[in-house]
Structure 1
Amino acid sequence: MADRLIQLKSGRGLGFSAAGDPIARRLVIFCHPTPGAGGFDPDPIVTDDWGVHLLSFDRPGYGVSTPLGAGDDATIEARADDLAEYVQNSEATAEDVSRADLGAVGVVGWGWGGQVALSLAARHPDLVDRVAVVGTAAPRRSKLRDGHGPALDALSMKGSSTIESTVERLAGGPWQLHDALGIEPDDPGLEFPGLASRLSRMLERSALQGELGIATDLVSAQDTAWTKELGAITAPTKLIYGTDDPVADADDGHWFASRVPGADVVQVAGAGRLAVSTVWGRILQHVAPHHGGIGEEQRDE
């Protein structure tokens, strides 16, 4: 469950969790996949040693965050604006240092969360100075779009679907399984100590309101208008894909790179859906430069 709950100007509650160093001068926002909830750290040992304050948020319908009401927008842009509101308006406390002192932030998006990360960088370029997107399928481009895979990122949606009808469609699941994230049983990332347990906890927390969070994500993804704003991104952007990812690949990265000025597509040899954890240190090197280089991946030119 999220560590804290803040109230947005709309009156909705937004749950968030923190990891890493709470007094670090560098803030990184992590946008979780579908399904998922705040509190997941791709590699706590690396995060704790890096000297960053890592925040993750429960999107509406997940964890303790308030579901969307009748007048609320179910769009990628609206989820990006929720994060921007936090960055712009959070107040200093003993546990959460003022954003006013920190300047722009780094953003990481995994899977579906990559769409929110890119939208945040496009709509609020003054707030975001570095972006890393990991395993994010371009709209309607997932390798599992044929419907044979279990990953929710690949679930086909009708353009007229509502949150209520999507909840009904999802009923019975279960969706709190690794394969709902597109993680295959032989993914090399599952060998990392504690990673499988952290994923399971994230999935359990995502289900506190049933399928409501998943349904909200899927309905939000129906509208791809947010992609028309990608040209406004000014932050250096890495688009990272495991060569063995069953959901998304470098072709998705090139789709985004053709729209994001100066973006680099990076392939991680041998990595699957869990590239976000297997190269977490290299991801942090990009969004929170510290030491070393992005390393041993294959860069697409």
Structure 2
Amino acid sequence: MRLLMAGTVERVVVLFGSEVDPDPELTWARGITLVGDDGTEVDQPGPFGVVGWSVAGLDALAFAARHPGLVDRLALVATPIPDDEAALGFELSDITAKTLLLFGAKDPLTGSRHGTWWQRRLPDARLEIYPQGGHDLLVPAWKRTLSHLAPHCKR
């Protein structure tokens, strides 16, 4: 895991799909530690919040499936449905994290249809559609994402 922002509270959020912090001011205000996935396993105790943007949302799901006792909250932002659900390597019904699904109604790649698909398959998922949102929803939705992944956390 690659450190993107050191925090002051005991909450770690793992970001899949972006090399940089989507909004450093918002992240700093929450006081969380934000780490980016670099392919190495996490070496900190949980629980974790995990977010995946676009196709990296599939990696975030796989991480949550591998660590059900550590990942308590998950956010998928504009994540496309897989070509083959069986090829995921895990059962979506095994995801135990409280999940927030954020999709843009004007996203030509995913849109609300993909969000509805995920909501039907993940046990504890809430779908929110941004009426004017496109595929690049990570930055505009970062405040909402952090409020889900790190509730009650403030510097």
Letter in 2 for 1:272: G
Which residue of the other structure, out of 106, 110, 117, is the alignment partner of 2:49?
106
Between the two proteins, the alignment pairs up a number of residues equal to 153
Looking at structure 1, the residues matched to 21 and 108 of structure 2 have their Cα atoms a distance apart, in angstroms, of 22
Which residue of the other structure, out of 8, 19, 24, is the alignment partner of 2:4?
19
The higher-RCO structure (CA 8 Å, 6+ apart) is 2
Looking at structure 2, the residues matched to 105 and 229 of structure 1 have their Cα atoms a distance apart, in angstroms, of 20
Looking at structure 2, the residues matched to 259 and 249 of structure 1 have their Cα atoms a distance apart, in angstroms, of 17
Letter in 1 for 2:78: G
Q: Name the larger-Rg structure.
A: 1
Q: Deviations over 1:206-265 (max 9, x none)?
A: xxxxxxxxxxxxxxxx78422651101111101110111121112112222222102111
Which residue of the other structure, out of 94, 101, 108, is the alignment partner of 1:239?
101
Which residue of the other structure, out of 42, 59, 84, is the alignment partner of 2:22?
42
Is 2:66 the partner of 1:123? Answer: yes
Letter in 2 for 1:230: L
Instruction: Name the SS of the counterpart of 2:75 in structure 1.
Output: strand
Structure with a larger share of its residues in helix: 1
Alignment match, 1:30: 15
> How far 1:114 moved relative to its partner?
0.4
CA contact (8 A) 2:65 2:90 kept: no
CA spacing shift, 1:263–1:227, aligned 2, 3 Å = farther
Looking at structure 1, the residues matched to 7 and 112 of structure 2 have their Cα atoms a distance apart, in angstroms, of 35
What stretches of structure 2 of length at least 5 have no aligned partner? none
User: How high is the TM-score relative to the length of structure 1?
Assistant: 0.47
Structure with a larger share of its residues in strand: 2
Letter in 1 for 2:3: A
Looking at structure 2, the residues matched to 246 and 111 of structure 1 have their Cα atoms a distance apart, in angstroms, of 12
CA spacing shift, 1:223–1:279, aligned 2, 3 Å = closer
Looking at structure 2, the residues matched to 118 and 227 of structure 1 have their Cα atoms a distance apart, in angstroms, of 10
Alignment match, 1:54: 34
CA contact (8 A) 1:119 1:229 kept: no
Looking at structure 2, the residues matched to 257 and 279 of structure 1 have their Cα atoms a distance apart, in angstroms, of 18
User: How high is the TM-score relative to the length of structure 2?
Assistant: 0.88
